[in-house]
Amino acid sequence: MADYHVSLRAYCKILSHAAKYPHCSVNGVLLAEDSKQKDSTKRLNFVDSIPLFHVCIGLTPMLELALTLVDVYCKSKGLVIGGYYQANENYSNPKPDNVAHLIGKKIQEYYSEASIFMVNNTKVSPCTISEAYKIYTYKENMWKESDKKQTVDDETLMTTCKLLDSPGIYRKLLDFDNHFDDIKNDWRNLELNELLENKDFLKDDYIDNYL
């Protein structure tokens, strides 16, 4: 079984998507680069996440178009679509539904180590100090909850708390629904990526100046 590491960029964008649309189901994909460790176990490094939809997350034509665009982007960066995330509309239900199963399986058919990340809405909060999702892997022809507990580091958790305490920032996140409404809305979220990679992000005056 693969070891997972979710980058700051990938984790923050997943939670930003859920926080921006708390009244909706949201979904997206995680982009990974994989490598072999010395002990021959596979390590999956999820370096980015791409928000897909918040209006109708399982609409096939739009989904196929979005995944095609993301796949082209991945090939240009030497990455793969290695995971799927979803936050359900039902606040108290973090379990994968048929949409998650179907999209997750579609991704898994192309990348065998792919997993589903189901967001726990109760943890999409500036006060959260633990990971906000459960991971599901495909075993014995079904999706089963993984026992993996830690895929992000403490700095990522702290930075995400800061982000979720700044609505003016996470509301800038754009998904494919926004892009299809206006193609000038960039689903790659390059501006947010650059912000998250700035080492001064945790400083209050930096966020104030950004906003």
Question: Where in the chain are the domains?
Answer: 3-210
Chain centre distance of CA 119: 9
8-state DSSP, 156: H
The per-type count for the chain, helices as H runs and strands as E runs, is 8, 7
Question: Alpha-carbon distance 5 to 83, whole Å?
Answer: 12
Question: Alpha-carbon distance 89 to 93, whole Å?
Answer: 8
pLDDT of residue 103: 97
Residue with tokens 């995971």: 83
- In the chain (211 residues long), the average pLDDT of successive 10-residue segments reads 88 97 97 65 88 94 96 96 97 95 96 95 92 94 87 92 90 97 97 84 62 55
pLDDT of residue 38: 46
Closest by CA position to 172, among listed 197, 158, 191, 156: 191
Question: Alpha-carbon distance 190 to 145, whole Å?
Answer: 32
Backbone angles phi, psi at 126, to 5 degrees: -65, -15
Total-model pTM: 0.93
pLDDT of residue 14: 98
Give me the helix-helix angle, 8-20 and 154-164, nearest 10°: 30
* SS3 (DSSP) at 115: strand
pLDDT of residue 34: 63
pLDDT of residue 199: 65
What Å distances lie between residue 111 and 30, 32, 155, 201, CA to CA? 12, 10, 29, 34
CB 188 within 8 A of CB 73: yes
Q: What topology is assigned to 3-210 in CATH? A: Cytidine Deaminase; domain 2 (3.40.140)
